[in-house]
Structures are given as C-alpha cells and as structure tokens.
C-alpha cells in the first residue's frame, strides 16, 4: 500500500460509494442477492471502522426488468420509468434486509436535478443527508427515474455520485464498476495497461476511454467515470475507481484500481451542481461590457447588458450566457421568465424601477447564482 493511499483511507471519515447496475444484477436483469450481500458486507466493515457511508446505487431499472417480463433495458422514457417504479422498491428492500443483518438502518434518497439546483430545494437536500448521517443511517441514493424527464436528468449515476460527494462534504468517492480500473486503452486490447494513479489532466492525455462493460443494463461507461472523477477531484475530493469484486481490497488500502488525486478546492455546492448537473433552458446574449463584468469582475448580470433572449424558461431555471461571438461563457439561475425579459433589455436598474416598480429593481442573474464555464 502506498503512503498516499494509506493517508487517504486513514483520513476518510465520510465516503461516498457508487455501484453500477452490472455489478448488482444477473444477466437476465434481476437483482443478484449474492452480489448485493457481498457489497453490503464491505460497506458494513467500513462503517465498523468508524467512517460514515453514503451509497449511490444504480439498478432500479435493471431490477424492474424481470418482474415486467423484459429482457433488456427499454429505450422509451415511459417504459424506463415504469421499470424504475417496480425495481426501486425491490432494490431498496434488498439493501434494507442486508444492512439490517449488520444492525445498520438505511434510508432511501431519490434526487432530481431540481432538488439540488433550485435555491428553495438544495439546502433541504443537504440538511436531509446531514441528519441521516447524524442518526447513523446509511443513505442509499438514486436518481428519481420514475419522475425525471429527459430534459432534467443527471444522465448517469457516476456524475450524480460525484455531486453527492460534494454535497455531503465527503473525503473520498469510490466508483465501483465491472472493470478493475482505468486502462490506457480498452481493457480487452492486448497490451492495455492499468493506470494506477491520475494526478493531473496530463496523466489522461494518453488514455483512450471506451465504453467497456455495462451493455444492456447500465447507462455508464468508463467515459462517465472519468468525467465523474474530474468533477470530484476538481472540488477537492479524491477518487478510487475499481471493480465491485475488488471493493474490499481497495477500501482496505490495497494497491488496486486507479487513484485519482484531488486537484482543486471545495467550492459552493450549488455552483458545482449548476455547472455539472444542469443544461441551459435558454440563452441570454451579452454585450462586451456585460461579458467583462460577469467574467472578469464576477459581477451580477444586469438587464442593461443583455442584448437578446432565446428559449422558453421561467424564473429559477438555468440559462446559458453567450458572448457577442455566440460562445458560452457562463450559466446562471435567471430571476425573470423568458417572456418578461425582452421589455427589460438594455435598461438600467434605476430606469426599470421608475418605469415598472421596485419588483424589477433586481439582477437578471445574481452573482451567487452564476458559474463560469
């Protein structure tokens, strides 16, 4: 065990573990009790060592396939949501039973993008996790596939796990897959070598990332895991990537899998979600002065600097900010509906107050709700 990994695991008091569908289910799509039991035994041992655990688990849709008589993950959103509705309860019950064997209580947390990007919701999500962990509960997290639409999705649970790790102030993110680490090419290719440590983007320059594994039941691949690692490490959280079979060894400190070292520092949680868990529901075009104010001075965006509005959105939605050349420079939560903004463009705050009332004496996007891209 290397000194770096020794220190990493010794200092990890709160760990987020993500497991993929293919690591939990049979080829036919049902839950594999032996695999779930093996995973829970590993996590219970981590808990026994004094660390708090949050589990981000895929598998709801996959678990719902067999009961519905389906042999493969359906393509249609409605069918996926139906499978998730059936499978989520089965998956949660299985975890509850297995953790109970170790005297551990579990709690289910289903998230949508709105839960963690809208101001009124994200604090509640953080407080819920904090209370569950305070009470000794292992939160089991999944995207709320039953109600999420294609327009508002995290897209994959690797990215969700990275964002949850930041939300709960985790010290370590462990990504478990059906591949034992990051290779410099497809693992099936002769001569492909495991990358034991990633310290910077330069270490990824020679890596060819494919979509190994998970065909038929999952949505992720190695690309999504590397992207998740970038999100987490850029926010100050180290990442271990390995297979579910090697989870016990990895969490015991063995030199298995790939260790992504933390490269950045923690940033406001909601801004991380805004940058990585949303897509713009519309665009605001800015004049050069507004671009300088937003990008260089990190100021709020005022109506005077907006030259055009495109898209259909309401107050509180995420919108992309474009410079005069059409390049995206930022994303923020807008304070006005799309149909309100055209009448405000190019007008100063004092002018808007005088003409339309004090309700319009506010920023189009406040600097605290804005992230640069």
Find all residues with CB under 8 Å of 135, minimum gap 6, and list them. 105
Question: DSSP characters for 198-245?
Answer: E-SGGGGTT------S-TTT-S--HHHHHHHHHHHHHTT-EEEEEEGG
Q: State the binding site for substrate.
A: 58, 145, 157
Q: What's the maximum distance between 2 C-alpha atoms anywhere in the chain?
A: 72
DSSP string, 110-124: EE-HHHHHSHHHHHH
Q: In sequence order, what DSSP letters do the residues of 256-284 get, joined into one string?
A: -SEEE---S----HHHHHHHHS---SEEE
Distance CA 113, CA 144 (A): 9
User: What residues form the annotated binding site?
Assistant: 18, 58, 145, 157, 177-178, 219-225
Partner residues linked to 238 by β-bridges: 172
**Do the Cβ atoms of 290 and 332 come closer than 8 Å?**
no
Binding residues for ATP, by number, are 18, 177-178, 219-225
The H or E element containing residue 333 is strand 328-333
Tokens of 334: 């807008």
User: DSSP state, 183?
Assistant: B
- Nearest CA to 177 out of 229, 232, 244, 228 is that of 244
């Amino acid at each position: 065990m290397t000194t770096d990994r020794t220190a990493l695991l010794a200092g990890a008091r709160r760990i987020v573990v993500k497991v993929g569908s293919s690591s939990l289910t049979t080829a036919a799509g049902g839950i594999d009790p032996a695999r779930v039991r093996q995973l829970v035994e590993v996590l219970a041992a981590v808990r026994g060592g004094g660390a708090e655990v949050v589990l981000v688990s895929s598998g709801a849709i996959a678990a719902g396939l067999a009961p519905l008589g389906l042999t493969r993950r359906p393509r249609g959103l409605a069918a996926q949501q139906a499978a998730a509705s059936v499978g989520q309860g089965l998956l949660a019950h299985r975890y509850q039973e297995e953790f109970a064997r170790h005297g551990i209580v579990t709690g289910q947390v289903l998230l949508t993008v709105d839960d963690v990007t809208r101001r009124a919701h994200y604090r509640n999500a953080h407080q819920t996790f904090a209370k569950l962990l305070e009470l000794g509960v292992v939160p089991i997290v999944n995207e709320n596939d039953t109600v999420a639409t294609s327009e508002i999705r995290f897209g994959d649970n690797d990215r969700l796990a990275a964002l949850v790790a930041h939300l709960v102030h985790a010290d370590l993110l462990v990504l478990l897959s059906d591949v034992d680490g990051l290779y410099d090419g497809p693992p099936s290719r002769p001569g492909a070598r495991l990358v034991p440590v990633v310290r910077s983007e330069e270490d990824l320059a020679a890596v060819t990332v494919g979509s190994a594994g998970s065909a038929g039941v999952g949505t992720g691949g190695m690309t999504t895991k590397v992207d998740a690692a970038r999100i987490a490490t850029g926010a100050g959280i180290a990442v271990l990537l390995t297979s579910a079979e090697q989870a016990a060894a990895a969490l015991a400190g063995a030199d298995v899998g790939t260790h992504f070292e933390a490269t950045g520092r923690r940033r406001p949680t909601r801004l991380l979600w805004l940058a990585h868990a949303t897509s713009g529901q519309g665009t605001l075009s800015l004049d050069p002065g507004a671009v300088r104010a937003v990008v260089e001075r990190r100021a709020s965006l005022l109506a005077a600097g907006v030259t055009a509005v495109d898209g259909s959105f309401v107050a509180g939605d995420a919108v992309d900010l474009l410079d005069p050349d059409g390049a995206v420079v930022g994303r923020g939560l807008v304070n006005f509906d799309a149909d309100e903004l055209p009448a405000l463009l190019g007008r100063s705050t004092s002018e808007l107050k005088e003409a339309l009332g004090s309700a319009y004496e506010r920023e189009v996007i406040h600097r605290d709700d804005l992230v640069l891209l």
